[in-house]
Structure 1
Amino acid sequence: MDITAKDLSSGLTEALASARAGEDVVITEDGVPIARLSGVDGASLLAKLEAEGLITPPAEDRAVPRLPQAEAAKDALSSLLGRLRR
């Protein structure tokens, strides 16, 4: 699918649907291609990056603990900002 840059704003929904369906959407300006919009398959991208050794999956699902130092720093910053606003 080709679409002009000018028509992209009004045809964005259609262009995104085409990209989601696997079609490349070429954005043109004065008949010259300037960009390409294509769909992304997030699950296969993550699997590919993992297979290439660029990312590693988490060891387990868990929440990140809050550190006491971070809480103390947040309280100190809030106190300082409160004094500056007076």
Structure 2
Amino acid sequence: MDVAVSTLRAQLADWIERVRAGEEVVVTDRGTPVVRLVPVHTAPLLERLTQQGVLSRPRTASRPNASRAPRVHARGSVSDLVTEQRR
């Protein structure tokens, strides 16, 4: 079920009750989906797959650092390069 942000604000308690009852609500902003409301007891797909042993969590939470990679410096404007490639 979809609901606009403005409607959600005006009727928040009603929408929370729907979610609590098990419905999934997608909140839209100007027609674009931005948030999904699901009951707390609903396990997301990744959590379920982790519990089933299909996936495993990363050993460390840190992301790789690319600080040793050489930086590339453009010899002209990016817009000129894009225009040239579009020809």
State the TM-score bracket (shorter-chain normalisation).
0.3 to 0.5
Higher helix share: 1
**Structure number, greater radius of gyration:** 1
User: TM (normalized to structure 1)?
Assistant: 0.46
User: TM (normalized to structure 2)?
Assistant: 0.45
